[in-house]
Structure 1
Amino acid sequence: TGQGKSFYINFDTYQNRSLDYQIFEIDHNGQAYQVFKDTGRETWFVYLPANGDLRIKVGAQDAIRVDPNVKYIISLSERPWWN
């Protein structure tokens, strides 16, 4: 980023939430905390300083219940999807 920025990371395993995919790691050089969590979906608030980097790792809660054909979405936005 060219300057500090606050935003939300919205995550949803919209094709099959029962797989309970989730964000396992947010690697960043700023602040982040989870504001919502439910099966297969969650929201995080993030502040990223100027010239910051952000990496997100997603995985299944249960490694046996992985379906490589199930899609999920990660969105960066000004508002959370869920409260």
Structure 2
Amino acid sequence: MNKRCEDIPLLEREKYHEKYQKRIFVLSGTLTENLFGWSHDLYDELDHTIVIIHSAANVKHYGEYQDFYDINVKGTKRLLDFAKTLASPQGQ
């Protein structure tokens, strides 16, 4: 069953936070920048990342082709290249 965060009662949210706060991190970055705009230290610290959720996209109905291409194509490629550098989970 999928639940949006705002659909989970506050007390239940706190329980999830306590359980996963050391395992789940939400990071904001810029797909069009090297290292996503992060410091080298942060970028290197993410070596044991297991799951990446990529939800960034330029979805306007109009605009410059290059803007769409830079974010939607190049940005996704940059994220995939980052994922390829990550250490494999144990047993894989």
> Shorter-chain TM-score category?
under 0.3
Q: In terms of Rg, which structure is larger?
A: 2
Name the TM-score, length of structure 1 as normaliser: 0.23
Q: Judging by fraction of residues, say which structure has more strand.
A: 1
Q: Judging by fraction of residues, say which structure has more helix.
A: 2
Name the TM-score, length of structure 2 as normaliser: 0.21
